[in-house]
Amino acid sequence: MALSATVACGGSAAPTTSDSGAATDSSVSEPKTIPTSVPKSADAEPVSEGGDMVISVSSYLGFQGVDTNISEDSATKIYYDEVFDYAIGQSPDGNLVPGFATEWGVSDDFLTWTFTIREGMKFHNGEDVTPEDVAWTWNRAVSPESLGGFALEVGPDLSSEFTVSGNEVSVSTTEPKSTLPILFAAASPPRSVVWSQDYFEEVGGIDGFRDAPVGSGPYRWTDRVPGQYIEFTALTIIMKSSRL
């Protein structure tokens, strides 16, 4: 039986037959390309120095957190890291590094720890940071009246107050306490900072200090509106923070 094929106008290929006798279409349509417009690249904005950085924090616990004898919440540490210096810093890999204590060590009987205090540092009000300020701040933090973690974790293990000799601050423990430097590190809650005793007394104690705290860190406390914002001002190297 003969098969006939009809070629339609337009030049399309004729159908062929398969082994089973069914007709198949040998033509293959080319995929269509839909043109799209290429967006113009935006001109890069020039990099500028300075400006403001805004960080939102959920709460400052009524702002009692400025006193670590009362609170050691995470929100407190956010601004403590900017306004205050720590005795011992911590590198990204977790090693302890000097802060405002340039070195520290323990006696041969492992009962007396000594911290050498960095010289030439200034508080934000221009006063010198002294070993006496350090000892006063730490004695206040571990006092029985304190409700902070420093008093709970360190206070019961101490057999003496923090004392000053030259540019060194020392304290003795009732038994060896190898973890003491870690408790003074920046990665711990905000405990091992230094406050100005003169300024603290000048503003009438903790209430005045809470309203306008003065530290020795890389940022100076400038202003705050409770429940809205806290403003800091970056310092120059002239202030000689341990992190500048």
Percent of the chain scoring above 70 in pLDDT: 65
Does 224 reside within a domain?
Answer: yes
- Encoded tokens for 242: 């341990």
CATH of the domain at 150: 3.40.190.10
Whether 121 is in a domain gets the answer: yes
- Do residues 97 and 91 touch, judged by C-beta distance below 8 A? yes
Across the chain, what does the average pLDDT equal? 78
3 state SS of 185: strand
**101-106 and 23-24 as β-strands: parallel, antiparallel, unpaired?**
unpaired
Q: Is residue 133 domain-resident?
A: yes
Q: Whole-model pTM?
A: 0.71
Residue (of 189, 181, 243, 197) closest to 216 by Cα position = 243
- pLDDT class for 244, splitting at 50, 70, 90? low
Describe the chain by its helix, strand, coil percentages, rounded to 5.
Answer: 20, 20, 60
25 within a domain of the structure (yes/no):
no
Whether residue 33 is contained in a domain is answered as no
Q: What is the pLDDT of residues 149-165, one digit of tens each?
A: 788 888 899 999 999 99
**How many domains does the chain divide into?**
1
Residues contacting 10, CB < 8 A, separation 6+: none
Domain with 187, as residue range(s), is 61-239
Token pair 């339609």 is found at 8
CA distances from 83 to 45, 47, 133, 160, 212 (A): 32, 27, 16, 29, 11
- 11 within some domain: no
Q: How high is the pLDDT of residue 225?
A: 79
Residue 201 falls within a domain, yes or no? yes
